[in-house]
Structure 1
Amino acid sequence: MARKAAIIGGGVIGGGWAARFLLNGWDVAVLDPDPESERKIHAVLDNARRSLPALSDLPIPEEGRLTFASSIEDAVQDADYIQESVPERLEFKRDVLARIQAVAPNVPVGSSTSGFRPSQLQEGAINPGAVFVAHPFNPVYLLPLVEIVTSPANEPELVNRVQETLRDVGMYPLHIRKEIDAHIADRLLEAVWREALWLVRDGIATTAEIDDAIRMAFGLRWAQMGLFETYRIAGGEAGMRHFLAQFGPALKWPWTRLTEVPDFDDALVDLIAGQSDRQSGHHSIRELERIRDSNLVGILRALKDRNWGAGKVLRDHDERRRSGVLDAMVGDLDQPLVMARMQVLPGWIDYNSHMTESRYLFAASETTDAFLRFIGADMDYVAGGHSYYTVETHIMHLGEGKLGDRLTGSLQVLHADEKRLHVFIRISRGEDVLATLEQMLLHVDMKAGRSCPAAAAILDRLMPIAQAHASLPRPEGVGRHVGQRSG
């Protein structure tokens, strides 16, 4: 049975929360009095559906059921988790939290507040221990960080349960154990923002020039190493201690104006808004969101390939889901096994707007790798010094994959013995087979550099499948070579 998340407040952040839970298989109820809320939520979901699947190397779960509630009571009824994302007015938030807890006093309630402390939100609550801060970052459906800020009223058991819930939807819960206004990340952002306002006001730089300074230099470093690790490298071989000795005295120089705030008057607003319009006004907000999301996917995928930073969160999320996804995909052994489900992503498309050739091979590799994991030849097996190596592949292109197509990869064992594994793979879109691949793999002792018999445990899982598949019709095209006619 699907779990349910209640999202109270469906603005930019609330809509992102709804997408994050919905696309990870949760049912979601949204409450927002804005008559345009349904349209806005669906616009956010369209962007999320376009980008979030690109971060996973496994098929994303079946999308949950989205409903729009007419009252707080309807929204939170039977909810397993509640996220409050209403405007940043303390008394308003307290009132909303009271109404939530009148119906669901023991359900965890996270607040998306970017500034209030949990103890402030807990004042007057029916069950203060169920209320905490869960502060995400936009877009919530892509960026993994969520700051979990607690007070002494929050029991460790609840905090652990909340962190596990958020990890299950692919987020990185950072537990901030000591309350502070604006938490951690927004305090850092506020410092940069304040200095940027001075630079614009004093005519030193435009909004575009400040953005260029960030995205062409330290923003790229921060995306994968943060602040302190970046500066550790800047210290050279002597590390952080040398960096502090070299640059520490500069802290006394009057470079910044962080303790001063410029007059936030109409003139400053007009100056910044006008420059921003000239910088980015040729794009709609939705276009900018899609550009942002596409760029984030590329950066996050690169980090995932290297198992680093936010990319490690994505890889860990895949690993948490892998066994369950694989078990759900594998059906009867007496038919080709569906081993992979994929979606054609923007990076898979060539200049003809079709799925590029390398991605058919990638799809086949995903299918074969899933099968090898299924029979026990997983990364632990490889770490022990043995693996299956592909020694021959023949591919036939029978159709064209296009952006957004959902594909399945199925595998039929043609022959197997102690050393050899001969398989036939179909990459399909629904009933249409887009490509077939015939592969021969050899089991290898990697240290010796030669073939050898597979471990008994591997053969115990492989051979019953091979025997079951022996009765299947031989696929059309098996044994063909390039240019050979069928029939």
Structure 2
Amino acid sequence: MTSEAGSNIRKVGIVGGGVIGAGWAARFVLNGIDVSIYDPDPEIERKTAAVIANARRALSRLFGNALPAEGSITFAANLQDAVRDADFIQESLPEREDLKIRLLAEMDAAMPAHAVIGSSTSGLLPTKLQSGMARPDRLVVGHPFNPVYLLPLVEICGGDQTSQETKDIAAAVYTQIGMKVLHVRKEIDGFIADRLLEAVWREALWLINDGIATASEIDDAVRFGAGMRWSFMGTFLVYRLAGGEEGMRHFLHQFGPSMEWPWTKLIGPKLTDELIETIARQSDEQAGGIDLRTYEKLRDDCLVDLTHALERNDFASGQIARAHRARLTDAGKSAAPAIGSIRDDGRMLTIATPVQPEWIDYNEHLTEYCYLKLFGDATDVVLGAIGAGADYVAAGHSWYTVETHIRHLGQARLGDSVEVRTRVVAADAKRLHVFHEMVRGPEAVVIATAEHMLVHVNAAAEKSVPAPDAMQQAAQALVTAQASLAPPEGMGRQIRMPG
């Protein structure tokens, strides 16, 4: 299987169905890929179903109807059945080197010749893990972060015998399901992200061990401070900004001496029974009796909302989500008529778009101002068709909307496909009467209509003037072409209280 084929896998085998394995299953299934999972836990089906339900809720909020039809999930009776016809295998076994080496060799023996194995290990070296395999070149580390179905980062690290093709295939697979691939240049225990996390974790243990701060206070120090910046700028870019106009060099000269002071204790304290009990008690107090699933949903909602905010800025993980949304939308597109073309029913197609995250309100519907925006954009398509595009406006003339009436008849949610279909009802030397219908999805459910009256103006003088003859003729041609259509339902409506 080439790296190009790797981006079009049909089935994934997952070995190990704990928190990470179930998270992988959810990400693959909800991106339209079939999964076969093996775990000897008798509760594996119930636990996996709970994780997938949470993931479905979160990813539906994140990507809406841009998500493809779900893949299937089956529960294999043994390891061999899980990987036998898989194009890609994700191993998520417990972090025991001896167990992974033995079972990876078994997967290698049972999987198809073209398959690749990605190991979810958070720190074991791939050179050791592939040591029992007959085809060690087919193993690569693919280390994710919890929750796997929402956090995009995956670290890829090859061992001494991992082929470049295997790394490329793994990268293509992970990219296909909306992840950000971070290539680890050299094998190192803990890779990149976990080494950074471990440094913070070790210092946090000292702060608790020495009675300086509680678990809750340490989390507050992160989530109300640096953690907010880390989510979109990391460490080095944050410090670069702290250096002002002179950047990182100035920052290091200014703060470098203090960084050499022995503030931290990077070798962790001994994890005694007493320290374990202290941390566990403080963690229970911090949780405040709220159960696991409730916290998982809260975590997922916060991650989705943060991703939407970053997506609106096309930055950090929001940039990854935006790119994946575009990939999902392109994959789901069928051949569609071009914007500005005349449909079989005689109306002009003026808008065709999925609903974007920045258009969603607190009810998770298309927000009110976006109806006006989309209808306004649709009117611009009509104006372009009669010769009143951007160049015409720049030359000093335009059409001004002088009256608008919008009816809200239904709802559109994130990812729903919407179209605006437009009719030019009437036109004369100075006026243009336009009627739009907005429809949702393949069923073309009408969710809104807009009626506009526009007047042709000399923009500099701010007064109405006749449109050029060629423009009048183009507008009248649209009216004539649509004259046989029945009057639009709702045209001429007005708002009035019942008598």
Shift in Å at residue 396 of structure 1? 1.8
Q: Does 1:172 align with 2:180?
A: yes
CA distance in 2, matches of 1:370, 1:284: 49
**Other-structure match for 2:4:** none
CA distance in 2, matches of 1:371, 1:64: 40
Q: CA 1:277–1:428 in structure 2 vs 1: closer, same or farther (change >3 Å)?
A: same
> Is the 8 Å Cα contact of residues 141 and 156 (structure 2) preserved in structure 1?
yes
TM-score, normalization by structure 2: 0.79
CA distance in 1, matches of 2:86, 2:256: 51
**C-alpha RMSD of the superposition:** 4.4
Q: CA 1:470–1:297 in structure 2 vs 1: closer, same or farther (change >3 Å)?
A: farther
Which runs of structure 2 are paired with 1:358-373 in the superposition (5 Å)? Answer: 359-362=367-370
Cα deviations by residue, 1:93-145 (Å, 9 ceiling, x for unpaired): 12221221112243111000001111111102121111010000111111110
Amino acid at match of 1:334: D
Counterpart of 1:438 (choices 450, 475, 488) is 450
Cα deviations by residue, 1:170-226 (Å, 9 ceiling, x for unpaired): 100111121000100000000000000010111100011000000011001111110
Counterpart of 2:126 (choices 115, 118, 121) is 118
Amino acid at match of 1:205: A
**Other-structure match for 1:424:** 436
Q: CA 1:342–1:15 in structure 2 vs 1: closer, same or farther (change >3 Å)?
A: farther
CA distance in 1, matches of 2:433, 2:325: 27
Counterpart of 2:204 (choices 196, 201, 205) is 196
> Is the 8 Å Cα contact of residues 179 and 320 (structure 2) preserved in structure 1?
yes
CA distance in 1, matches of 2:419, 2:187: 52
**Other-structure match for 2:262:** 254
CA distance in 1, matches of 2:379, 2:43: 46
Q: CA 1:103–1:200 in structure 2 vs 1: closer, same or farther (change >3 Å)?
A: same
Amino acid at match of 1:398: L
CA distance in 2, matches of 1:474, 1:269: 75
Q: Does 1:151 align with 2:159?
A: yes
Q: CA 1:242–1:28 in structure 2 vs 1: closer, same or farther (change >3 Å)?
A: same
Cα deviations by residue, 1:379-430 (Å, 9 ceiling, x for unpaired): xx999x99x99957533233578xx899553432323999989563345589
**Other-structure match for 1:477:** 490
Which runs of structure 2 are paired with 1:442-461 in the superposition (5 Å)? Answer: none
Shift in Å at residue 471 of structure 1? 6.7
**Other-structure match for 2:418:** 409
Shift in Å at residue 364 of structure 1? 7.7
Q: Does 1:135 align with 2:122?
A: no
Amino acid at match of 1:412: R
User: In structure 2, the residue corresponding to 1:239 is in which secondary structure?
Assistant: helix
TM-score, normalization by structure 1: 0.81
Q: Which moved more, 1:124-133 or 1:359-368?
A: 359-368
Shift in Å at residue 318 of structure 1? 2.5
User: In structure 2, the residue corresponding to 1:110 is in which secondary structure?
Assistant: strand
Cα deviations by residue, 1:295-349 (Å, 9 ceiling, x for unpaired): 1111111111111111111122233344333336779943687945669999744
Q: Does 1:205 align with 2:213?
A: yes
**Other-structure match for 2:3:** none
Shift in Å at residue 151 of structure 1? 2.6
**Other-structure match for 2:275:** 268
Cα deviations by residue, 1:74-98 (Å, 9 ceiling, x for unpaired): 2223322211111111121122212
Q: CA 1:270–1:162 in structure 2 vs 1: closer, same or farther (change >3 Å)?
A: same
CA distance in 1, matches of 2:249, 2:116: 43
Structure 1 unmatched runs, 5+ = 454-458, 460-464
Amino acid at match of 1:252: E
Which runs of structure 2 are paired with 1:371-410 in the superposition (5 Å)? Answer: 391=401, 394-399=405-410, 409-410=418-419
Q: Does 1:107 align with 2:120?
A: no
CA distance in 1, matches of 2:87, 2:453: 46
Greater C-alpha Rg = 2
Q: CA 1:345–1:308 in structure 2 vs 1: closer, same or farther (change >3 Å)?
A: closer
> Is the 8 Å Cα contact of residues 80 and 107 (structure 1) preserved in structure 2?
yes
Amino acid at match of 1:140: V
Q: Does 1:218 align with 2:226?
A: yes
CA distance in 1, matches of 2:400, 2:19: 47
CA distance in 1, matches of 2:57, 2:268: 40
Amino acid at match of 2:106: R
User: In structure 2, the residue corresponding to 1:147 is in which secondary structure?
Assistant: strand
> Is the 8 Å Cα contact of residues 334 and 468 (structure 1) preserved in structure 2?
no
User: In structure 2, the residue corresponding to 1:123 is in which secondary structure?
Assistant: helix
**Other-structure match for 2:252:** 244
**Other-structure match for 2:344:** 334
* Identity, % of aligned positions: 44
Counterpart of 2:38 (choices 25, 31, 51) is 31
CA distance in 2, matches of 1:289, 1:438: 42
Q: CA 1:344–1:232 in structure 2 vs 1: closer, same or farther (change >3 Å)?
A: closer
Q: CA 1:39–1:247 in structure 2 vs 1: closer, same or farther (change >3 Å)?
A: same
> Is the 8 Å Cα contact of residues 31 and 67 (structure 2) preserved in structure 1?
yes
**Other-structure match for 1:13:** 20
> Is the 8 Å Cα contact of residues 153 and 180 (structure 2) preserved in structure 1?
yes
**Other-structure match for 1:186:** 194
Structure 2 unmatched runs, 5+ = 1-7, 469-473
**Other-structure match for 1:462:** none
Q: Which moved more, 1:467-476 or 1:159-168?
A: 467-476
Q: CA 1:237–1:321 in structure 2 vs 1: closer, same or farther (change >3 Å)?
A: same
CA distance in 2, matches of 1:188, 1:138: 16
Amino acid at match of 2:168: N
**Other-structure match for 1:297:** 304
CA distance in 1, matches of 2:292, 2:277: 19
> Is the 8 Å Cα contact of residues 363 and 427 (structure 1) preserved in structure 2?
no
Q: CA 1:91–1:246 in structure 2 vs 1: closer, same or farther (change >3 Å)?
A: same
**Other-structure match for 1:310:** 317
**Other-structure match for 1:22:** 29
> Is the 8 Å Cα contact of residues 10 and 31 (structure 1) preserved in structure 2?
yes
